[in-house]
Amino acid sequence: MLTETTIRAAKPLEKPYKLFDDRGLFMLVNPDGSRWWRFKYRFEGREKLLSLGVYPDVPLKRAREKRDEARRLVADKVDPSARRKAEKAALADTFEAVAREYIEMKSKALAPTTADKRLNRFQTYLFPRLGKRPISTITAPEFLDALRRVERHGKNETAHRLRSESGQIFRYAIATGRTDRDITADLRDALTPVVVKNHAAITDPVAIGQLLRAIDAYEGQEATEAALKLAPLVFVRPGELRKAQWSEFNLDLAEWRIPAARMKMREAHIVPLSRQAVGILRDLSPVTGPNGYVFPGLRDANRPMSNNALTAALRRMGYTGDEMTWHGFRSLASTALNEQGFPPDVIELQLAHRERNDVRAAYNKALRLDERRKMMQSWADYLGQLKAATASV
């Protein structure tokens, strides 16, 4: 029989070799120095092997205990290997395992921050209560109880997001043979309705002109001033502007190509630049260019401008969160451009909203860039007119 001293003294050789203990237990010593416990047994006339772990994580005493547990299963006419496979399969069918598998698969088509937020919601609110349960055993009332606990923390919108995203996970589980139905469909009308609060945005033409004049008068870091002036002209998402890099711009072609990795929907996006936008960027280029971030952080040029920099600038200009937000430039542009009669498809393309109809999406990707160029220049000219009109207001 083996002893700890014998095991520690065993040296790796060119080929694997065995150190035998008792009643089917032995250690396999590999050329790389790893030492694996194995249990040899017979079941229904066939010789089989069961792995019992790696030494020293599993010491000799524990290896013998695991061997004895396996021998008791054999005596009860239960195959230890089959039992282990069944247990692993059960773990793969838990709500958490299926959810992680699905989120990992979908994360390839999402911005990293979006995928991280989705996983964090599940880790915070659902995995602790339902994660270890086989997904096929979870009932609608149990799931509703978990979501209502989220509501009781004042997170109504989060509860609705979790129900919707869990529906995708249940449907994936159906497709992969791990459950029979999507129980979240029964909860569609069971949650407290969400009161939608849009991003605050100024849409009155006179007020827009006043905002633009306030931006022109703002005095701060040059990159912040330029970002404020550029934001209404390009109306991209805040993170897309903050993290812009000079390598993405071709000022001679008046074009900004944002790579897919930085877009919410993980699809590359083209922003045609008006003459006014090009002028702002050319003035900024000697300050923060020609490489790196267009709008670097105040303390560290190797990092982008902070998420709160432009919001703070708006507050210093006297605009409250109920009047105007950084994200509100998109709402401002969308509202005004639709009122001016530009084709909704062109506006949606420029806002980088995903087209749900696959045929229209393919069409839109191939065409309409010229229309978008004209629209962006018209939009910049319109903003200039509003700013001039309010000079005497």
Catalytic residue annotation: 237, 264, 327, 330, 353, 363
d(CA 334, CA 353): 11
Helix (H), strand (E) at residue 41: strand 35-43
CA distances, 341 to each of 334, 366, 373, 381 (Å): 11, 22, 16, 16
Tokens 């079941």 -> residue? 43
Helix (H), strand (E) at residue 43: strand 35-43
HEC secondary structure over 218-251:
CCCCHHHHHHHHHHHHHCCCHHHHHCCEHHHEEC
- DSSP reduced 3-state for 96: helix
Cα torsion 331, 336, 341, 347: sign: negative
Interior/surface letters 263-287, b for 16+ CB within 10 angstroms, e for the rest: bbebeebebbbbebbbebbeebeee
Helices and strands (H, E) in the chain, number of each type: 17, 7
d(CA 116, CA 333): 29
Query: Do the beta carbons of residue 299 and residue 285 sit within 8 Å?
Result: no
d(CA 328, CA 378): 20
CA neighbor of 227 nearest in space, from 284, 290, 268: 284
CA distances, 48 to each of 23, 75, 139 (Å): 14, 15, 39
Query: Do the beta carbons of residue 301 and residue 175 sit within 8 Å?
Result: no
CA neighbor of 176 nearest in space, from 164, 168, 184: 168
